[in-house]
Each structure stands twice: as structure tokens, then as C-alpha cells.
Structure 1
Amino acid sequence: MSYFAAAVARGSSGWTAAELDLAGAADIDEVADRLRDLDSEADVSLLFVESDDAYLAILRLDQGEDLRVFGSDSVFAEESRLGALLLGDIKAPALEIDDVTEPPAPVADDDEPPVTEPDIEPVGDPDLLADLGISAHQLLSLCAHEGLMPADVTAEVCQVIGCGDQVEELRE
């Protein structure tokens, strides 16, 4: 299984980013420790884990404590060791994906309406980025939008929260 794990931390001097190696992590607490190691003094630390161009998991630590986790689809936990490691103990989010996949607005004849994929079952805390400018509704809508890859969702989220350039540099 291929994955990309980008950690970002917001400290007094702004956002810093690093790619994390999750190989050999025994449990989610060890993953959280690796995230903490990026910047132990950070106000906010986030880890974006994209797997097989199909799944996204986001982990958040505030001041190194209180781990919060969101996963784009519960199937990730069933299909891989990494998914089980990150999402195995998480319950369904407060919002159902059907609550955020509203019918598309009317469009001009030459435009295609946005397509959503309501068959996914997100898990965890969809509000984990709300104070950074990404509401639960926006996060769930991004994850449900057909054609958007996990990398696209990560890029969109990172642009909004202000660390898009740092994460993009990691991909290069």
C-alpha cells in the first residue's frame, strides 16, 4: 500500500511541514508521538495521510494533546493495516455524508454539475478543522466529491488554512 503522510505544525513563526514515515508504527499513539516530534511547542499540529489515491485520514493535536481524527471512508480501516492503525477505533461522524451532498444548483448547458459520491462512510471528527476555516460540511463535501483525489482534498484544505505551499514543497 502506498501512502503519503504530510505533517504540518503551526508555531509562533508560522507553519512548518515535513513528510512522516509511518512504517513500523505500532499504534495511533506512536503516530501521534511522531507528529508531536515535528514541533513540540506547536499550537496546532496536523497529519494528512493519503493512501492509494483513495483514502484520506487527518489527525490533529492541539498543543501536543487531545488527538482528534477524521477519515474519509471507513473502508480504509478494513482494507489496510495503516487504515486500521489510524481509524480502527473511531466512530461515525456527527454528520452523515447525505446531509452534506445537496442537489447541485442549476448550471448552464455547457457546464457539468458537481458530482458527489455518497457511498463513502466518513468516520471520526469532521469538525477538527472548523476553527482553521474548513467546516465539517466543507470537509465532508470535499471528501464526497467524485473525481477529487485525497491529494486534491489535502491541497484544498492546506490552501485554506495557510500551509499549502509547505505541503506542496513536500510533494516535489
Structure 2
Amino acid sequence: MYFAALLARTEDGWEASDLELDDVESLTDLIDLARSAAVDDEPVVALIEQEDAWFGVMRLDGEEDPRYFVSNASVAGRSSYGSMLTKELLGSDEEDDELDELDLDGTEDGEEESVTAFADEDDDTDPPLGTGSEPLPAGPFGDLGLLNDLGVSPKQLTALQGDALSEIAESLGATEVLEAVR
């Protein structure tokens, strides 16, 4: 199960909107939704989490390129929306505009709906792979400083666990607006 929201800064503070993931079939769709929520060149932060297993952040500032962070690339790479972010972070040249490999709940067809946050040593399944044959990192991955100027230091970002999105919103001063869409 995913939760996703957009936080857009305005001159009056932050505005939050529920991010309809049904409308997101590609990273381009996510970027377009974030751009449509932007007020002038103020930052927009897209927050995505999957059952407290991982969370991801995408930040847009005006017409600049988006910046990304995932809390655990290995776990995120096993889900449809997480794999979009990790592929972008790895600089994958593959054009996977459609999320055909995984259902929107993050599981492959016929697979049980469960999320394992940590791999078991006896687990015979292979970890998700990056652009080469190397496994995705089992931990934070991406732009650690993407929220630094908004009150979340790289050290804080990498230490977040549990309800990380609420902690990010609290640091941004957007707790009430995020909880209103939750």
C-alpha cells in the first residue's frame, strides 16, 4: 500500500494535495503533476512511502531538474514507484514509461502482497539490480541534501524511520496540511 502527497510552498506556507498514484505511469507523469502544483518558482516536494518499508522524495524548484532520494534503494527497487526513482538515480537509459513489470501494489502478478524491509541471509532471491549487474544499495540513495535548505539535514534525512513523511512535514512546517490529506 502506498501513500503519496505533494507539498507545494506558497507565500502563505505549504499546501498539500493527495498525489493520485493511479495517474502516475511514469516518472514524467510524476514530474508533470508536481510542476502543475508549483506556485511560481517555489519548491514542490513529492513524498511517497510504501508500508513503512521505504520512502522517497522528489523535489522540484521552478524549471530546474528534479532531485531524488530514496530511504532504501534495494527495497524500493522491488516496487513499481520505487523502481522509477531508483532507475532515475542510477541514470538508467531505459525508457520504461509503463509500469508493466509490477502491479501498482508493488508485487508481481501472482506474488503475495508483503514487503520485506531487510533481506534474510538465507533468502535465495536476488536483490534488484542497478544499470549494470551490481545490486542496488541497501540503504539511503540519492541527493542527501535535497531538503537541507528546508530544514532537513542530510544526517536527519538518512536517519528517518517509521513515519518518516510526518517527520519531514514537521521539519518543513507542513504537518497540518500533510495530515489533512492523509
1: CA distance, partners of 2:164 / 2:63: 24
Residue matched to 1:51: 50
Displacement of 1:82:
1.4
Which amino acid is 1:123 matched to? F
Displacement of 1:52:
2.4
**Residue 13 (str. 1) matches residue 12 (str. 2):** yes
Residue matched to 2:143: 125
2: CA distance, partners of 1:21 / 1:42: 23
Question: Measured at CA, do residues 121 and 74 of structure 1 come closer, stay the same or move farther in structure 2, by a change above 3 Å?
Answer: same
Q: Secondary structure at the match of 1:137?
A: helix
Which amino acid is 1:7 matched to? L
Residue matched to 1:139: 157
**Residue 85 (str. 1) matches residue 103 (str. 2):** no
Displacement of 1:26:
3.3
Please report the RMSD computed on the Cα atoms of aligned residues, expressed in angstroms. Answer: 1.9
Q: Deviations over 1:32-78 (max 9, x none)?
A: 11111123425110011011221100000012432000000112343
Question: Measured at CA, do residues 22 and 42 of structure 1 come closer, stay the same or move farther in structure 2, by a change above 3 Å?
Answer: farther
Displacement of 1:10:
0.3
> Which of 155, 173, 176 does residue 165 from structure 1 map onto?
176
2: CA distance, partners of 1:53 / 1:160: 19
**CA contact 2:54–2:76 (8 Å) conserved in 1:** no
Residue matched to 2:59: 60
Residue matched to 1:70: 69
> Which of 144, 150, 166 does residue 155 from structure 1 map onto?
166
Percent identical among aligned pairs is 33
**CA contact 1:73–1:123 (8 Å) conserved in 2:** yes
Superposition TM-score, scaled by structure 1 size: 0.73
Question: Measured at CA, do residues 42 and 128 of structure 1 come closer, stay the same or move farther in structure 2, by a change above 3 Å?
Answer: same
1: CA distance, partners of 2:15 / 2:76: 28
2: CA distance, partners of 1:53 / 1:133: 22
Consecutive unaligned residues in structure 2, runs of 5 or more: 91-117, 119-136
Greater share of residues in helix? 1
Displacement of 1:27:
2.2
Displacement of 1:80:
1.4
Name which of structure 1's ranges 59-68 and 22-31 shifts more when overlaid on structure 2. Answer: 22-31
Q: Secondary structure at the match of 2:164?
A: helix
Question: Measured at CA, do residues 89 and 39 of structure 1 come closer, stay the same or move farther in structure 2, by a change above 3 Å?
Answer: closer
